[in-house]
Amino acid sequence: MAMAPSSLDSFYRYFRMSGMGHCAMGSGAYSVGMYSLGLVDNALEQDPDDNVLARIVVWVERDEAPVYICGTSFNGGLSGSGTAYKRKHCRYPTRNVYVGPGNFTDENAWNRQ
């Protein structure tokens, strides 16, 4: 497809998940609502801000396209140990860039460029 990203926006969006492994897990805020893997609890599963599938349903049913997908990193890698940090993964061609100040786990230390 030789279409510009802006031409695809009405039906297709790509979100790079920095720190996500091949299909799941990883060193970043990789969890985007993977309840079937036992990685998040059911409360997070229902919230479109924390679940990529629920967010896509909002897009289809309400015509509210996502600008970002929120990912969560858990202490020790599992939701039962609490949230380590969250990060908003932005749609291509923009990307997350650490701008500081502060720790990389601070959501406000990142900017979409």
| 36-66 residue pLDDT tens | 455 545 555 578 888 888 899 899 999 999 9
Q: What is the pTM of this model?
A: 0.78
Own/partner contacts of 77-82, CB < 8 Å, gap of 24 or more, are 77/25, 78/38, 78/39, 79/31, 79/39, 79/40, 79/41, 79/44, 80/41
Of residues 1 and 38, which shows the higher confidence score? 1
What pLDDT score was predicted for residue 31? 83
What pLDDT score was predicted for residue 76? 81
What pLDDT score was predicted for residue 28? 85
